[in-house]
Chain A
Amino acid sequence: MQPKGLAEGVGAPVLRKEDGRFLRGRGRYVGDIAYPGMREVAFLRSPVAHGLIRSVTKPRGYEAQVFTWDDLTGVQPIRAPSALPGFRKSDQYPLAHGRVRQVGEPIAMVMAASRAEAEDIAELIELDIEELPAATDMLAHRAGPPIFDGWPDNVVLQALVDDDISDVQAPIVVRRSLRTARQHMAPMEGRGVVVRWDERLNQLEMHTSSQMVHVTKTGLAECLGLPEASVRIIAPDVGGGFGYKGILLQEEVAMGWLAQRLGGVALRWIEDRREALSGQANCREHHYDIAVHADHDGRILAIDCEAHVDSGAYSAYPFSACLEAAQIGSILPGPYIVPRFRCRTWSVATNKPPILPYRGVARTGVCYALETTLDAVARKAGISPVELRLRNLPGPEAMPYVNITKKIFDSGDYPEAMRRAAEAIDAAGFPARQAAARAEGRLIGLGFAVFCEQGAHGTSVYHGWGIPFVPGAEAAQARLTPDGGLEIRVGVQNHGQGMETTLAQVAHEMLGIPLSRIQIVHGDTAMTPYSTGTWGSRSAVMAGGAVGDACALLRERVLAIGAHLLQAEAVEYRDGAIHAGGASVTVAEIARVFHRAPQQLPPAMQTMSLEVTHGHKTERDTGTFSYAAHAVEAELDAATGQVKLLRYLIVEDGGVLLNPLVADGQVLGGTAQGIGTALYEEMPYDAAGQPLASTFVDYLLPGAGEVPDIEILHMETPSPISRFGQKGIGESGAIGPPAAIVNAINDAIAHLGREVTDIPATPERILAALA
């Protein structure tokens, strides 16, 4: 459907409705919620990466405030088996049972009047653990010793995209071994839980900082053995998710169990940075042995890859331990025309926190591996990185393009994005700039990354990736209130995506009701339709589509009532009113009559509810494909190994933008995180599996000083499969930076015959590459 160009409709750059409360410090997060007599919870966590628990002794006098697995009667461990054949299952106990497999794994739960007292009591618990050797490296410890009894090795799943490419005759073959560091996602607000048993509703009421309240509800009910009707999950304002909050937590299960036994007394646990950093560094760790085969002109003939993903100790609910490896096997060819493709992946269990899908998920690593290797191919072929990409990207005439792994690129002009980025950053003039800089003894480089982002992909794709929670249709409810206001209820979570604004814009587009009169309700299982939540760059497309569909149905009913009130056949819906000839009746009047003066309507119309819930799927569930070209000019300080980003430019095609300001915000925030992946963020572990960064002094996040002004140029090729032509772009910004920045670094030092292979490209790594 074509947007109409309304001032508050789809595509309008309206300011975010939710910002008023955020900017005034009036947001309400889990940490702001309190109940009289509330108790605070602290967790005693494993100090070792791997060990057998010989005993946990509760301190004398505090037995009734300390809980271990043995106390948690009737509780099931968390299980997230992938449906992919060969997947090795594991149980994640809410509190450790017999064995600990990562530093930070909760062992005991302590309840006290204050957090400080709970921590004091936790310190008194006597822990006797027999330490076992830790599996800390996915390559070295793939074969074992196994961290689970009964496993022959530490392979959770091995998968093969099998294509015998031995017959490929390529004049250019470039091989690289590349590594991406383990990261911690670090949303501004950490995790947190406030839970109590509601005697009146016979229901567990849990506030938790989540991006998927309904999934949490289902998982929690399963683990606690409660009917789903007895669980209500509320996520109030959520200060960033990025995948960190797309999980059923051990803490939620353990606290849910305890709350049922406290007769209404509320419990609270607020994660602190130290427990987050030391026990929850859980994303991004990949290793690639990749080979790109190309002809003399730099045309890709084949890609051959063996990739490892460090999955950590357990399979996290609901995305499982194998999502990333499955993705690698299907998205490594990126946006390119790749005739032949072979890829073997291993998901390896180690004594580290379970991996979670961080913004970009496997795409960030895959883009890094492919794009840096392609630059090496360009150097070998003697052509520019821009030219190489132009020769391998599918053109607009090829759309919809079905690539080697059967991904259906829905629409767009990929080469044009590359051309615009090259032009905007003046790639043609760069060799002269580089030569001039070198003459002054300065090292500068230009780097590009092109990628596509599958978003809002649905049932068939996720079923193929084996996750135990396959998304279906996304539902929305549109409810016209007697005063002519509109309530929209959605099961997705708005944790920074601006959805209280963009979804209202969609509703306005359909019904013409002013934005100020549209209320978006989300984040509460008792108030919203079931949903798998916000992740996978799906909400703008899926929830946006659902709001559109529900409002379209509501509109038909409003039209019918309006026609009756006007006693007209030919009516028109315009500017929030129904018109027939010169007469009109407003939506507000229609709502008033329906709810408060139904006697004016015929009986059949009286039973036509003005609350509509409807499910939405895109025309094909293979996803929208947004794409982008990132371009970076960077300067390298050869003496210190430091990198300065001189210019950062993005050409982005997100289809029809529901709100260009919101889209920019998404891209900017993601890019800042991508800069972190490229240059700063890393959680190192020692050989015993101890995390070596436990505060932000050691775990460096980019700050305002490290993020340059980012220029964004938009292309807007509508998606043919979504309601308004919009595409998912929520993760895009976080995908390109490591590849583009390292390509710029490598460009700066290519004349020295040097290259960086591992990220983050820290001063140490850069100095080592230069040494």
Chain B
Amino acid sequence: MKPASFDYAPVETLGAALSALSAQGAKPLAGGQSLAPTMNLRLVRPRVLVDVKALPGMREVTETAAGLRLGAAVTHAEIEDGAVPDVTCGFMAHVARGIAYRAVRNRGTIGGSLCHADPAADWPSCMVALGATMIAAGPGGERRIAARDWMRAPFVTALAPGEMLLAVEIPRLPPGSRWGYAKINRKVGEFASALGIALPGVMVAGAIEAPPALLHAIEGIPPLAAVAVTRAVAMRDA
């Protein structure tokens, strides 16, 4: 199927982007790896696509003592390849490597993934586990949203209409930190049927058809998620 008719708006400044996004039916376009398929199926019919990939700051990477700020348009492949600094003891590169397959990773972005907010996706759960912070921009300026408040429901984020994601701030894990990641899926490169994440002092269950869950104990979650978290913990503690 072909998408319904739409306009394409390349923009050069954040201001132009935000004003374009204020129009009815406008939607940001990042890597297009989730948006384009849904448009082709005519499940979404944006009137105008505002291409935000090339906006200033969107591909910027800044390392500080506290951590790393990743522009929203940094790709999965760049994280996989170590083209951005590693502040998570290899955790994010490992996760990136398991997302889809290379062609998708070359185009797909961390910001696009977070904004798509598919509960079965990898980054939304990882950001909760890492205690990341989303930097959003809107007509009223910038604001910070904690990762655990980000996904409100499957495919629904905390972004207000007209807002967009600029960057993600990822706190640095202490050097030598151990982590565990268990993605249970049917085949290589598929979305997860269950995600388990174990970082120092943190457990998260993902892909539970609801926003990712920060856990104190492995209970009250679907059985497969419990398997995933148990395996992640075992990997971390091995």
Contacts and interface: CB of A to CB of B under 8 A. Distances in A.
Interface of A: 114-116, 119-120, 272, 274-275, 639-640, 642, 680, 695, 697, 700, 702-706, 762-763
A697 B191 contact: yes
Contact of A695 (B41, B188, B189, B227): B41
Given A274-B41, A640-B227, A705 B188 contact: yes
B5 A120 contact: yes
A695 to B, nearest CB: 7
Contacts of B2: 114-116, 119
Interface in B176-222: 184, 186-191, 193
B187 A116 contact: no
- Residue of B4, B41, B186, B191 with highest tally of chain A CB at under 10 A: B186
A706 B101 CA distance: 14
B65 interface: no
- Residue of A116, A639, A680 with highest tally of chain B CB at under 10 A: A639
11 contacts: A114-B2, A119-B1, A120-B4, A680-B187, A695-B37, A700-B190, A705-B188, A705-B189, A706-B187, A762-B186, A763-B186
Given A639-B227, A640-B227, A695-B41, A272 B1 contact: yes
B3 interface: yes
Contacts of A697: 190-191
B234 to A, nearest CB: 12
Contacts of A704: 188
B11 interface: no
A640 B187 CA distance: 13
Contacts of A702: 187
A703 B227 contact: no
B224 interface: yes
Contacts of B187: 680, 700, 702-703, 705-706
Nearest to B182: A640
A680 B185 CA distance: 12
- Residue of A115, A640, A700, A702 with highest tally of chain B CB at under 10 A: A640
- Residue of B2, B188, B224 with highest tally of chain A CB at under 10 A: B2
Nearest to A706: B187
Contacts of B224: 640
A697 to B, nearest CB: 7
A639 B228 CA distance: 10
Nearest to A702: B187
A271 to B, nearest CB: 11
A274 B191 contact: no
Contacts of B191: 697
A702 B42 CA distance: 27
A245 B213 CA distance: 48
Contacts of A680: 186-187
Contact of B5 (A116, A695, A700): A116
Interface of B: 1-5, 37, 41-42, 184, 186-191, 193, 224, 227
A695 B188 CA distance: 17
Given A116-B3, A274-B1, A640 B188 contact: no
Given A272-B1, A703-B187, A703-B189, 16 more contacts: A116-B3, A119-B1, A275-B1, A640-B184, A642-B184, A695-B41, A700-B186, A700-B190, A702-B187, A703-B188, A705-B187, A705-B188, A705-B189, A706-B188, A762-B186, A763-B193
Contacts of B5: 116, 120
A635 to B, nearest CB: 15
Nearest to A116: B2
Contacts of A762: 186
B43 to A, nearest CB: 10
Contacts of B188: 703-706
A691 to B, nearest CB: 14
A640 B222 CA distance: 12
Contacts of B189: 703, 705
B118 to A, nearest CB: 11
Q: Which 3 A-B pairs have the closest CB atoms?
A: A705-B188, A116-B2, A639-B227
A44 B1 CA distance: 12
B117 to A, nearest CB: 16
Contacts of A115: 2
A116 B6 CA distance: 11
A702 B189 CA distance: 11
A640 to B, nearest CB: 5
B200 to A, nearest CB: 25
A112 to B, nearest CB: 11
Contacts of A703: 187-189
A706 B190 CA distance: 12
A126 B63 CA distance: 58
Contacts of A763: 186, 193
B130 to A, nearest CB: 25
B34 to A, nearest CB: 11
A525 to B, nearest CB: 32
Contacts of A639: 227
B77 to A, nearest CB: 18
Contacts of B41: 274, 695
A47 to B, nearest CB: 13
A275 B1 CA distance: 8
Nearest to B4: A120
A120 B2 CA distance: 9
A119 B5 CA distance: 11
A763 B224 CA distance: 11
A762 B185 CA distance: 12
A703 B102 CA distance: 14
B105 to A, nearest CB: 15
Contacts of A705: 187-189
Contacts of A119: 1-2, 42
Contacts of B186: 642, 680, 700, 762-763
Contacts of A275: 1
Nearest to B230: A639
A652 B190 CA distance: 33
A450 B1 CA distance: 43
Nearest to B193: A763
Nearest to B184: A640
B165 to A, nearest CB: 24
- Residue of B41, B187, B224 with highest tally of chain A CB at under 10 A: B187
A115 B5 CA distance: 12
A764 to B, nearest CB: 10
Nearest to A274: B1
A640 B196 CA distance: 13
A274 B188 CA distance: 22
Nearest to B185: A642
Nearest to A114: B2
Contacts of A640: 184, 224, 227
Nearest to B231: A639
B115 to A, nearest CB: 19
A85 to B, nearest CB: 44
B42 to A, nearest CB: 8
A706 B184 CA distance: 14
Nearest to B224: A640
A115 B188 CA distance: 33
A435 to B, nearest CB: 24
A277 to B, nearest CB: 11
B12 to A, nearest CB: 28
Contacts of A114: 2
Contacts of B37: 695
A700 B193 CA distance: 13
B230 to A, nearest CB: 8
A43 to B, nearest CB: 11
Contacts of A700: 186-187, 190
A639 B184 CA distance: 11
A50 to B, nearest CB: 24
A136 B94 CA distance: 44
A581 to B, nearest CB: 65
B174 to A, nearest CB: 31
A326 B186 CA distance: 35
Contacts of A695: 37, 41
Contacts of A116: 2-5
